[in-house]
Amino acid sequence: MTTPFTMDANYRPFHPNPRKPTYVPPPGAVDAHCHVFGPGEEFPYAPERKYTPCDAPKETLFALRDFLGFDKNVIVQASCHGRDNAAMVDALDASGGKAKGVAVVRYDIGDDELKALDEAGVRGVRFNFVKRLVDATPRENYLRVAEKIAPLGWHIVVYFEAPDLAGLTPFLTSLPGKIVVDHMGRPDVGKGVNDPDFQRFVRLLAEHENIWVKVTCPERLTVAGPPYDDVVPFQRTLVERFPDRVLWGTDWPHPNMTWIVPDDGELVDLIPRIAPTPELQQKLLVDNPNRLYWPAR
């Protein structure tokens, strides 16, 4: 059967043949930000989606995990699947305990549904504020979700763009529990690490110990292109300043990359530049994600 979905004309599929990285991650390393897409014939894309991707199924993700030398994945629900977490949960089920998930849920989700997601390995919800990806959600709906997930000990992943940080800060700092910011809050890397906007983000982390950050997506943030010399200082600043609250991920299958199709092996080889000592690498890749996603319960 052919897929009922045709990917967008300008959509660029993930790299078909990434290189084997030279850097070898430590045992137990976690790719803490990646997605599964479809396949569309089995897990239809959401009617309200803003893009139709290339299918990126769990088998391909798990093969990439092994090829890159990682042990586990955190699979984040992407906007093209809306609030239907079935493809993500199916991947968790098939992972043999090697994947945990971050879901997107309705504000009126029932306790039984939440419990089923928890049993499948979901450990957080994602609030997406990026306007090109989702329609706006009322803040009170987010607050209701935050209240519902609190008893489960889940955390909240937030995705926003740098210009929205100032307006969002009162809301973000009012949320209970741990907050994880996607892709460093998407700084404008052309302005350098001393830019007041990035420094405001650093201060937010310094002042709120419940806020974590993913030092992800050099390929999405770069102005200069590979080897991402313009993004590495941002990642390294955060890893060195907040070594116990940083996470790393590939962002495979890299939705909406209109310019660069990143080589995942090249992204892995950036890790020693982002986290220059074995101790920092151990925290970034092993200790922090395992503490957040595989805690003893």
CB 32 within 8 A of CB 65: no
Residue from 25, 40, 121, 255 binding ligand 0GY (CB under 6 A) = 255
Q: Compute the least distance from the CB of residue 27 to ligand 0GY, in Å.
A: 26
Q: How far is the CB of 278 from ligand 0GY (least distance, A)?
A: 28
Q: Name the minimum Å distance from CB 260 to ligand 0GY.
A: 13
Binding status of residue 256 toward ligand 0GY by CB under 6 A: yes
Q: Is 164 a catalytic residue?
A: no
- Helices first, then strands: H and E counts in the chain: 12, 8
**Active site residue: 31, 182, 251, 264, which one?**
251
List C-alpha distances in Å: 174 to 16, 79, 137, 169.
Answer: 42, 24, 17, 8
Question: Counting every residue, how long is the chain?
Answer: 297
**Tokens of residue 20, six digits:** 């084997």
Q: Shortest gap between Cβ of 128 and ligand 0GY (angstroms)?
A: 6
Residue closer to ligand 0GY (CB basis): 109 or 130: 130
Looking at 29, 70, 71, 79, which residue binds ligand 0GY (CB under 6 A)?
79
Interaction with ligand 0GY in 150-179: which residues (CB under 6 A)? 159
Q: How far apart are CA 294 and CA 112, in angstroms?
A: 22
Alpha-carbon distances of 266 from 202, 245, 269, rounded to whole Å: 27, 24, 5
Q: Is 251 in the site for ligand 0GY (CB under 6 A)?
A: yes
The residues carrying an active-site annotation are 251
